[in-house]
Amino acid sequence: MSSSPADRLNPVLQHHIVNTLGWPGLRPLQEAAVGPVLDGVDALLLAPTAGGKTEAAAFPVLSRMTGEGWAGVSVLYVCPLRALLSNLQPRLASYAAWLGRTAALWHGDTSATARAAIRRDRPDVLLTTPESLESMLVSTSLDAHRFFADLQAVVVDEVHAFAGDDRGSHLLAVLERLEVLASRPLQRIGLSATVGNPAELLAWLQGPHVTRRRDVVAVSGPPPVSDVTLDHVGSVEGAAKVISTLHRGEKRLVFVDSRRRAEELGNALRAREVSTFLSHSSLSAAERRRSEEAFAEARDCVIVATSTLELGIDVGDLDRVIQLGAPRTVASFLQRLGRTGRRADSVRNCLFLGLGLDEVLHAAGLLHRWATDWVEPISAPPLPRHIAAQQLLALALQEGALGRRTWHDWWSGLSVLDDGAEVLAFLEDGGFLEPDGDLLAIGPEAERRFGRRHFMELLAVFTAPPEFTVLHGRAEVGMVGDDVLVADTGGAPRVLLLGGRTWLVIHVDWKRRRCWVEPTDLPGRARWSGTGGGLSFEITRGMRDVLLGANPAGVTMSRRALAALNELRAHHSGDVAAGSTILRSSPDGDLHWWTWAGTAANRTLAASLPSLVDPAQRFGDQVVRLRHGLDPRKAAEALRAAGDVDLVAPPVNDQAVRGLKFSAALPVEMARRTVSERLVDRSGARAVLGETRSIAHD
């Protein structure tokens, strides 16, 4: 009789999988993960949303915990979002309880009473965020050396979300410090949706330990059936009309690209008497939770969300996903698409509603890339030296001081600390660290810049604009940027649109950064600071392919979407050519270079070709303006001659450097280099320079 991988799991777990969960067996990914995880191998478990990744890690880890007699906090389960952790904790706690084990939650919303209980009686599994891990490491009320001494394994959920930004560099550095406290290598298990470079993502998760055994666990099969439609609706009001009349009686999740658009759409849907809930980062945690819980229990309703609901937070059994505009990446689209099609009688689906012609083109270009099975490779932001500064200061807090000659032992050669010696010298010279023989302790400058509220500023890796808490009586409604309250209203009442409702500002406490509001029928406008980055080379080239006649395979195009694409193709007929970029003069004498290369590549071309590119422009995805008065033929010849030019990173101003968290703890030029290297796309720029150039004639 042949055995299955599930036979290696703890017998009690096997019993509950069949008799408590009612599963006939494990899913393919879960079966494939049993061996590597039980054998202690570092692993990356890949599956679409709702593919059973949590259990693929949890079941063998819990079996290993029992079989090897682990005690204390032996497993960390790390997530990027508090809400996702709160959603997962009951599930993981029930699995652990089958084996007489415990799983507890520690993040920014965990009460002081719950934290005290965890300190007294350590759970076997701790669910947390990297920022909360950092706060535990430096806490004076928790003995980190004792608390983490028994660690054996770390599960990192949504690992691709970490790897793509600075939180990933921070997480890797914290894991190295935990390995020192535990005096053993920690098994690292990443859970991820589909990515373009899984082997590289797993190597990234291993940090400096890439020689350890590792295994990418993914189960291939026929692609799931997906029902994807692209429509053109023209405006938020047009979108509200479509959503209110289409798929009535169903539960619909609508993704938007900004908090402002979420508020505007929510307001428009409620005006049409659609049961509507909102979820975005400027709403209070309690308000988001109320919306998500109410939505999960309702049927004929809509929830409008930014990327806060992109990851696997459970909001019940969804019928439809609708996307206003388009996300920036195929990976993000796959996350959103995967929220549907979980019932046996349903398929994954997504309806794109373009509000303008540019949004229709963006969506079509993204869907064209998706239809060719392309997904972005995940790569960490380069030169995270500000994270190195933060880590050195955090270690000084954790240990009381750090050794001038031994600090590097905590990170085992992790690349995040590559320039650690230079950063350390700056921290000492600037008074951030104070010498005491061979030791360096927290100095007065670190106290001044980061010491408020027990160094909370040092523990938060995110950079966020100043925001005000909005209160209705004692109830927190959400947050707004200070620009909303500072802006001149010309004497008119100051009205906010927040939570899908309009509020009249009645009092502002500038010192405590709070404002009080009351409901009003006056019209309001949602405003927040900040915009997303530009599109990539690959997505922009997908848009060019669409303009050249390609329609995304497997995507249903409405008549309005087809009409929009025909209009776009006519408008850009002289701006695109297969395998060539276009030089076109405008009536006012400007010369435009239609690169279709994405924002970062266009910035890189501008920085590398200062004699040809006009620096006084805002760079976008499609076109670069050359210097005024250039002759097109001479410009084409100059660009041909520049094919092997050294590609340099764009220059950055002081404001951009100040926007880098912890930049004050870096030498100025290092901070500038860190920011500028994050704006560069050398491969895209090189591809553009390698193409021929055509001169368009009107």
139, pLDDT greater than 60? yes
173 and 249 both lie in a single domain: no
In this predicted model, what pLDDT tens digit does every residue of 424-482 receive, in sequence order? 999 999 999 999 999 999 999 999 988 876 787 787 765 444 467 788 888 777 777 65
Tokens of 600: 């970062």
- Report pLDDT for 260: 83
Whether residue 418 lies inside any domain: the answer is no
Let me know whether 499 and 601 are in one domain. no
Give the domain-ending residue among 371, 406, 440. Answer: 371
Q: How many domains does the chain have?
A: 4
83 and 41 within one domain: yes
Does 233 share its domain with 307?
yes
Question: What is the model's pLDDT at position 2?
Answer: 53
Tell me the residue ranges of DSSP E strands in 522-654.
Answer: 555-557, 580-585, 591-594, 623-626
Residue 150 has pLDDT above 90, yes or no: yes
Q: In whole angstroms, what is the distance from residue 385 CA to residue 667 CA?
A: 10
Per cent of the chain over pLDDT 90 is 67
Same domain membership, residue 346 and residue 272: yes
CA–CA gap between residue 394 and residue 379 (Å, rounded):
25
pTM for this predicted structure? 0.86
| Whether the Cβ atoms of residue 420 and residue 407 lie closer than 8 Å to each other | yes
Q: What is the pLDDT of residue 539?
A: 98
Any domain includes 541: no
Q: What's the average model confidence in pLDDT over 62-78?
A: 97
pLDDT band at residue 235 using 50, 70 and 90 as cut-offs: very high
Alpha carbons 526 and 497: distance in angstroms, whole number: 5
* Rounded Cα gap, residues 47 and 596, in angstroms: 32
SS3 474: coil
Does position 527 have pLDDT exceeding 60, yes or no? Answer: no
Q: How many CB atoms lie within 10 A of CB 56?
A: 29
Q: How confident is the model at residue 409 (pLDDT cuts 50, 70, 90)?
A: very high
Laid out side by side, the sheet with 514-519 consists of 475-481, 467-472, 514-519, 501-509, 495-498
**Of the candidate ranges 149-158, 175-184, 225-234, 343-352, the one whose mean pLDDT is the lowest:** 343-352
Q: What is the pLDDT of residue 659?
A: 72
| 459 domain-assigned | no
pLDDT for 484: 61
Please state, in angstroms and rounded to a whole number, the distance separating the CA atoms of residues 313 and 253: 12
Q: What is the mean pLDDT of the segment spanning 549-566?
A: 97
State the amino acid at position 211 in one-letter form: T
For 321-372, the pLDDT digits (tens) are: 999 999 999 999 998 898 887 777 778 999 999 999 999 999 999 999 999 9
> In a 3-state reduction of DSSP, which class is residue 81?
coil
**In the beta sheet, which residues pair with residue 217?**
45
d(C-alpha 652, C-alpha 655), whole Å: 8
For the cut 50, the answer to whether the pLDDT of residue 529 exceeds it is: no
Report how far apart, in Å, the C-alpha atoms of 44 and of each of 59, 78, 291, 378, 458 are.
15, 14, 33, 13, 30
Residue 113 forms part of a structural domain: yes
Given a cut of 90, whether residue 538 has pLDDT beyond it is: yes
Element (H, E) at 603: helix 599-608
Residues facing 479 on adjacent strands? 469
**Conformation bin of residue 44: beta by default, left when phi > 0, alpha when psi is -120 to 50:** beta
For residues 30 and 155, membership in a common domain is answered with yes
Q: Are residues 188 and 254 in the same domain?
A: no
109 or 167: which leads in pLDDT:
167
Is the pLDDT reported for residue 570 higher than 80?
Answer: yes
DSSP letter for 228, please. Answer: E
Average pLDDT over the chain, rounded to an integer: 89
Is residue 235 located within the same domain as residue 203?
Answer: no
538 part of a folded domain: no
Q: Which of 192, 218, 244 is the last residue of a domain?
A: 218
Higher local confidence (pLDDT), 206 or 660: 206
> Do 44 and 172 fall within a single domain?
yes
The alpha-helical segments, DSSP class H, found in 130-190 are 130-138, 144-147, 159-163, 166-182
The Cα–Cα gap between 335 and 320 comes to 14
pLDDT reading at 510 higher than 80: no
The DSSP output letter for 308 is G
Output phi, psi for 487, to 5 deg: -55, 140
CATH number at residue 343: 3.40.50.300
> Is position 18 within any domain?
yes
Residues 286 and 348 grouped into a single domain: yes
Judged by average pLDDT, the poorest of 102-116, 123-137, 454-468 is: 454-468
Q: What is the pLDDT of residues 2-61, one digit of tens each?
A: 578 999 999 999 999 999 999 999 999 999 999 999 999 999 999 876 678 999 999 999
Residue 222's pLDDT band (cuts 50, 70, 90): low
Shared domain check, 317 and 211:
no
Can you list the alpha helix ranges (DSSP code H) found in 221-378?
236-245, 259-271, 285-297, 330-337, 357-371
Q: What percent of the chain has pLDDT over 70?
A: 92
Span 588-646, pLDDT tens digits: 788 999 999 999 999 999 999 999 999 888 888 999 999 988 999 999 999 999 988 99
User: Among 179, 201, 218, which residue terminates a domain?
Assistant: 218
Structure tokens at 407: 């600090």
Q: Which of 260-274, 418-432, 651-665, 683-697 shows the lowest per-residue confidence on average (mean pLDDT)?
A: 651-665
Domain that holds residue 176: 5-218
**507 domain residue, yes or no:** yes
Residue 536 lies in a domain: no
Helix, strand, coil shares of the chain as percentages rounded to 5? 40, 20, 40
Confidence (pLDDT) at 362: 98
pLDDT at 653: 77
633 and 491, same domain (yes or no): no
